[in-house]
Structure 1
Amino acid sequence: MLLLLAVPGAALAAEGGGAGGSITVFVAQVVVLLALGRLLGEVAQRIGQPAVMGQLIAGVILGPSVLGAVLPELQHMLFPDSREQKSMLDAVAQLGVLLLLLLTGMETDLSLIRKVRRAAFSVSVAGIAVPFACGFALGEMLPGSMLPNPANRLLTSLFLGVALSISSVKIVAAVVREMSFMRRNVGQVIMAAAIIDDTIGWIIIAVIFGLAMHGGVDLAVLAQSVLGTLLFLALSFTLGRRLVSFLIRWSNDNFIGEVPVITTIIVIMGLMALMTQAIGVHTVLGAFVAGILVGQSPILTRHIDEELRGLITALFMPIFFGLAGLSADLSIVKDPAMMALGLGLILIASVGKFAGAFIGGSLGGLSRRESLALACGMNARGSTEVIVATIGLSLGVLSRDLFSLIVAMAVITTMAMPPMLRWALARLPLRPEEAARLEREEFEAKGFVFGLERLLVAADKSADGMLASRLVGLLAGARRTPMTIVDVAVPAGTTPARPGESEAADAGAAASANGGTVAPETVAKEAAEGAKPDAERRAPPAADVTTRKTRGQPETEVAAEARKGYDLMTIGVDGAIGDGGAFSDSVTRMVAGFEGPLAIVTARGPHREDPVGYPLNILVPINGAPHALRAGEIALAIARAQRTSVTALYVAQEAGVPSWQHRLGTRLAPLSEADAILKQFGSLADSYGVPLQMAVRASIRPGEAVLQQIRRGDHNLVVVGVSLRTGSTLSFGPLATLLAERGDRSILYLSS
């Protein structure tokens, strides 16, 4: 540690002690807190503790308890008592708190909290009432010598009750997240109860603050806190949800600078934090609610999480938790009387909170083991008690010794929480429904389709455009994935002929479609709203469709739209695939600059006449390649929405097989590779709940096998994974070329 402090210490000595609000002192504080917090956080993780525990211990070591006792001059030089100096570091820590709560809110599953709201409220109310009563009783029994003003014993008792009863949502959030327990049912109850704890706690503090300032209950302050919080929550989850979603999408689509959405999110968080501060409730409530609304926004949430998480965990969290530990002066426990009082304070706080949360969990319908885990998880205090104690100290209702003991109690209960929670979780088996939910969420986190947060469709009014809009609508429907439909105006008389169809008939079909009244967005909406909903939904959700109409050059406008952050781009325009399987010049210009997966839809067979209503009979070739697996997921998602089955075709090639077997397409005896690939795809189909039929073809070219299977199974839609080939023209390779030249059924090409 001395080596770690050498460079900052030398810099401070060169400056002359670091008096006032020195930027040099501030930088030195940040460097030391980050470095020591990271080192001890690593040690904590290696012994099975969350990293935040190491960061808390780093603060204790750098504070008056250790460094201040061993090298007081250096400790004072590095962390002077200057109010200006303290405010600089505290500002960074408080911003980190808000960002941490933003991330926590983004990960909060409101649908799950609604299911456990009874348990969350009962845990919070009982978990506050029992330790509050214990703390109040302790304050009433304290000797007068421990009180700064015996005449204000009531206020001291009230402050002690609050300090012993409120869980720190910031500490609970960090620990639960770091232990990968956020998705467990009990983890969600812990988080919900902690948020309720914090909200109720700040309302209680507002009441006590009114008592201290006015000598009685200030009804105006109380009404402002209670009614203001209820109004804030009501507006946030109605108008606020729509406004946040609109602002995220608008900033993404209209700003050209770097990471505009991140800036928008932080501004939203800051404004909502200021709102809660204005109504007399702490800013963390506003930041947490902002995170919930951002998490419910249907686009870019994964990108936002990835952008924010690294900065928060690397910079803001070590500073915040280090500062919390820095506030504890454990040197006062040298006095036996103070030691006994401190132990009693910790015992009362822990037993009271544990008993209250356990009782609340039992009343909320949880099992004994779940209530035990809840009680362990709710016992962390952290900075909430530090803030409460600071208010009490500033109002003169807490002595400095009581202040230090409360801070020590907060740190110790926080450090004790992770091992207690881990011990309780080891005895908490997964319920079948919880295990199924976690398994489904893990599958969705790895899946291609479930990672699609925003879809783009460029479609005209041809049969190709109608079918593309229909398929993307089915893909988006159950999960309400936002779609943007670019209605491409295709000039009349530009329809190329297709293999197997007369030029006149093809031109007539396209002209009829172009002259019709059905728009691509209408087809997409109807398909999305008719899609099979998720199991947890009672009815299909309303489709989220944004429409753009091209006015000038369609290719340029589609290409510009595609650069706005879409996860999948689908093209459905007449003549998209030209001679030889290559893209038309128009489509090549549309996809220029788009770096994500690309799909092109061509309507053939019965879908030329009825692209919107004709049933789907889906075939998907699979071979174990990533792009084929993605195509398989797309096929299963469409089939699930359409309530139909999928046929998977595996084509095996063996060296040295006689040419006559190639011609006859002899079925292959079971192969380990085929078994593995088909088993993998079968598991995927089971996860989607889609009936699956399998076909294995041996010693035959893949394109020929697909054409044969189309005829055998009377399939009318082939979803095929392909690789994008670049050169003088863009194409999807030889398989796409063969299907374009000889196929007479609709095709969805999906590139990697």
Structure 2
Amino acid sequence: MTLHAAKPVGGGPARRRAAPLGAIGSLLALGVVLAVWGRELFTGETGPHGGFDPIARFLLAVSVIVLVCHLVAALLRRFDQPPVVGEILGGLLLGPSVFGVLWPSGRAWLFPAEVLSTLQVTAQLGLVTFMFLLGCELRLDQVRAHRKAVWTTVAGSMGLPFVAGVAAALAAEGVIAGRFGSTTAYALFFGLAMAITALPVLARILVDLRIDDTAIGRLALTCAAVGDGAAWAALTVLLALTGISGSGSVAAVMGMAAAFVLVTALCVRPALAAVVRRCERTPAGEQLLLPVLAAGAIGFASLSQVIGLHPVIGAFLFGVVVPRDSAAVERISKQLQGFAVTILLPLFFAGVGLSTSLGLLSGVTPWLLFLGLLLVASVVKFIGAGGGAKLAGMSTVDSLRIGTLMNCRGVTELVLATIGLQYKLVNELGFTILVLIALVTTAATGPLMQLLSRRAGTPG
């Protein structure tokens, strides 16, 4: 399974014919909305039936979010950008920075407090599903074959940015730190945010560049998988040690987290493998496997929250122990991926956009801070990953490519940024800066890879 690994950009004739039909349908739906609720939408006055039904307004908000995110993604595909860049931009367009400036009353009407609250809860389901799929994607079978290159690259791409991120966080503490109150927790979290690589988005970029089945593509994916696993493990320890969620004493949270991981590895993993083997024997059993895996991921997320960790950690952990050699699991993962990527993830992106305000960057100091952190995040990770690959014996060109690929932060950075804002490790300005860093580094990965390939005279 490869998240976001859709067919090549552009699609076939059927897809091109479907595009105008979809646009016509969207315009018709918009016309109905304006005809029925136009008075309330433009003037704020309620109609004879006492206003817009809350359920209808929530469903309309979901429709608008999905439509905008995918339209912007389709537009950016023409510029060889992965869909996630357009989806993130779509979420930002619906936030206070664009929609809120161009049409404040329209944004307030479409996203009132009760709709925002429901969207946030629904987005958590999308986030849990995404992290479960990301755990399923964590394949480490290439580590043994390229042990030296993997470990030196991971050490450089994670270690140097982490140290630089901690140092930058300490220097900017008075500007971007949240209200949690622990300098250590804030600095360690920011270091992790600087060190992360987005495995699923990287996989999509490799497919688009047609280098997913090359040695450098496999190495980059393996390094991203190892780095992601290490980052989520480190976040688990950070949440447990600092008691950020406030669910109990640090010792209790640490003990429960350790027990959670051990029980999952020693008991749940073999039991799940046995369930998968049994369900694969019959079509009826295979149909049962989808609700079993979905319920398991959601249940693990709930248990993780109860323990005092973030729900995404439990969902990711459950995905890690799902059997890798099952065709039925592969098919089910693709089914879940279709719904999660098409419907649920845009809701998460919209939540990110609604929490991101570019107005916070007004003035010289915030912009200089953003540019400085972007420089630190990009250059240090490029040097760390590329230098690690070079130490492993790779050529200069391939080392530059690895440094470029490992800079892709994508959705994973957004998840970390959301956790930081939720637990008040960073403030709204820090959150906005992390979102923009994720957007810029992800958008730059493909063009930089194409530039390096043209200079080297190689495909991709």
TM range (shorter): 0.7 to 0.9
Q: Map 1:120-159 onto structure 2 (within 5 A).
A: 120-142=150-172, 144=174, 156-159=186-189
Instruction: Determine whether 1:243 maps to 2:271.
Output: yes
Instruction: Determine whether 1:189 maps to 2:222.
Output: yes
Measured after TM superposition, the shift of residue 49 of structure 1 is 1.4
Cα 1:16/1:89, change in 2 over 3 Å: farther
Checking the alignment, whether the CA contact within 8 Å between 1:228 and 1:279 is kept in structure 2 is no
Query: Percent of aligned pairs with the same residue?
Result: 29
2:348 matched to which residue of 1? 320
1:205 matched to which residue of 2? 238
Instruction: Determine whether 1:48 maps to 2:71.
Output: no
Instruction: Determine whether 1:164 maps to 2:197.
Output: no
- Which amino acid in structure 1 is aligned with residue 445 of structure 2? M
Measured after TM superposition, the shift of residue 197 of structure 1 is 4.0
2:142 matched to which residue of 1? 112
Measured after TM superposition, the shift of residue 155 of structure 1 is 5.1
Equivalents in 1 of 2:269, 2:180: separation in Å? 49
Equivalents in 2 of 1:232, 1:19: separation in Å? 51
Cα 1:110/1:406, change in 2 over 3 Å: closer
Equivalents in 1 of 2:365, 2:347: separation in Å? 33
Q: Map 1:529-544 onto structure 2 (within 5 A).
A: none
Task: Identify unmatched segments of 5+ residues in structure 2.
Answer: 1-22
C-alpha deviations, 1:52-110, integer Å up to 9, x for none? Answer: 21111111111111111111111222223x2x533422343333334344445555544
2:359 matched to which residue of 1? 331
Measured after TM superposition, the shift of residue 423 of structure 1 is 4.3
C-alpha deviations, 1:338-385, integer Å up to 9, x for none? Answer: 111111121112222222323343455554444433332332334554
Instruction: Determine whether 1:92 maps to 2:83.
Output: no
Instruction: Determine whether 1:37 maps to 2:65.
Output: no
Cα 1:294/1:26, change in 2 over 3 Å: same
Equivalents in 1 of 2:385, 2:395: separation in Å? 13
Cα 1:181/1:26, change in 2 over 3 Å: farther
C-alpha deviations, 1:478-518, integer Å up to 9, x for none? Answer: xxxxxxxxxxxxxxxxxxxxxxxxxxxxxxxxxxxxxxxxx
Measured after TM superposition, the shift of residue 51 of structure 1 is 1.5
Which SS does the other structure have where 1:63 is aligned? coil
- Which amino acid in structure 2 is aligned with residue 209 of structure 1? T
Checking the alignment, whether the CA contact within 8 Å between 1:159 and 1:392 is kept in structure 2 is yes
Q: Map 1:11-90 onto structure 2 (within 5 A).
A: 11=37, 13=40, 22-80=54-112, 82=113, 84-90=114-120
Equivalents in 2 of 1:394, 1:19: separation in Å? 32
Cα 1:137/1:104, change in 2 over 3 Å: closer
Q: Map 1:267-286 onto structure 2 (within 5 A).
A: 267-274=295-302, 282-284=310-312, 286=314
1:410 matched to which residue of 2? 438
Cα 1:202/1:322, change in 2 over 3 Å: same
2:292 matched to which residue of 1? 264
Equivalents in 2 of 1:209, 1:425: separation in Å? 45
1:725 matched to which residue of 2? none
C-alpha deviations, 1:694-738, integer Å up to 9, x for none? Answer: xxxxxxxxxxxxxxxxxxxxxxxxxxxxxxxxxxxxxxxxxxxxx
Which SS does the other structure have where 2:141 is aligned? helix
**Alignment: residue pair count:** 423
Q: Which moved more, 1:68-77 or 1:157-166?
A: 157-166
1:372 matched to which residue of 2? 400
C-alpha deviations, 1:599-621, integer Å up to 9, x for none? Answer: xxxxxxxxxxxxxxxxxxxxxxx
C-alpha deviations, 1:233-287, integer Å up to 9, x for none? Answer: 743xxx5454334323434557859932322232333344456556665544554
Which of 253, 262, 267 is residue 231 of structure 1 equivalent to? 262
2:372 matched to which residue of 1? 344
Measured after TM superposition, the shift of residue 151 of structure 1 is 8.2
Checking the alignment, whether the CA contact within 8 Å between 1:68 and 1:75 is kept in structure 2 is yes
Equivalents in 2 of 1:68, 1:37: separation in Å? 17
C-alpha deviations, 1:654-684, integer Å up to 9, x for none? Answer: xxxxxxxxxxxxxxxxxxxxxxxxxxxxxxx
2:429 matched to which residue of 1? 401
Equivalents in 2 of 1:290, 1:385: separation in Å? 20
Q: Map 1:375-386 onto structure 2 (within 5 A).
A: 375-386=403-414
Task: Identify unmatched segments of 5+ residues in structure 1.
Answer: 432-752
Equivalents in 1 of 2:440, 2:333: separation in Å? 31
- Which amino acid in structure 1 is aligned with residue 436 of structure 2? A
Cα 1:212/1:293, change in 2 over 3 Å: closer
Which SS does the other structure have where 2:197 is aligned? coil
- Which amino acid in structure 2 is aligned with residue 300 of structure 1? A
Which SS does the other structure have where 1:300 is aligned? helix
Cα 1:255/1:206, change in 2 over 3 Å: same
Equivalents in 1 of 2:127, 2:206: separation in Å? 15
C-alpha deviations, 1:568-613, integer Å up to 9, x for none? Answer: xxxxxxxxxxxxxxxxxxxxxxxxxxxxxxxxxxxxxxxxxxxxxx
Name which one, 1 or 2, has greater alpha-carbon Rg. 1
Which SS does the other structure have where 2:142 is aligned? helix
Cα 1:171/1:223, change in 2 over 3 Å: farther
Measured after TM superposition, the shift of residue 148 of structure 1 is 6.6
Cα 1:115/1:234, change in 2 over 3 Å: farther
Checking the alignment, whether the CA contact within 8 Å between 2:84 and 2:411 is kept in structure 1 is no
Cα 1:420/1:190, change in 2 over 3 Å: farther
Higher helix residue share: 2
Equivalents in 2 of 1:288, 1:364: separation in Å? 30
RMSD over aligned Cα atoms: 4.3
TM-score w.r.t. structure 1 length? 0.48
Cα 1:257/1:152, change in 2 over 3 Å: closer
Higher strand residue share: 1
Checking the alignment, whether the CA contact within 8 Å between 1:328 and 1:408 is kept in structure 2 is no
Checking the alignment, whether the CA contact within 8 Å between 1:325 and 1:411 is kept in structure 2 is no
Equivalents in 1 of 2:453, 2:357: separation in Å? 32
- Which amino acid in structure 1 is aligned with residue 63 of structure 2? V
Checking the alignment, whether the CA contact within 8 Å between 2:253 and 2:308 is kept in structure 1 is yes
Cα 1:142/1:230, change in 2 over 3 Å: same
Checking the alignment, whether the CA contact within 8 Å between 1:135 and 1:164 is kept in structure 2 is yes
Equivalents in 1 of 2:174, 2:138: separation in Å? 46
Checking the alignment, whether the CA contact within 8 Å between 1:247 and 1:264 is kept in structure 2 is no
Equivalents in 1 of 2:414, 2:404: separation in Å? 20
2:17 matched to which residue of 1? none
Cα 1:170/1:185, change in 2 over 3 Å: closer
Equivalents in 2 of 1:144, 1:425: separation in Å? 42
1:698 matched to which residue of 2? none
TM-score w.r.t. structure 2 length? 0.74
- Which amino acid in structure 2 is aligned with residue 361 of structure 1? A
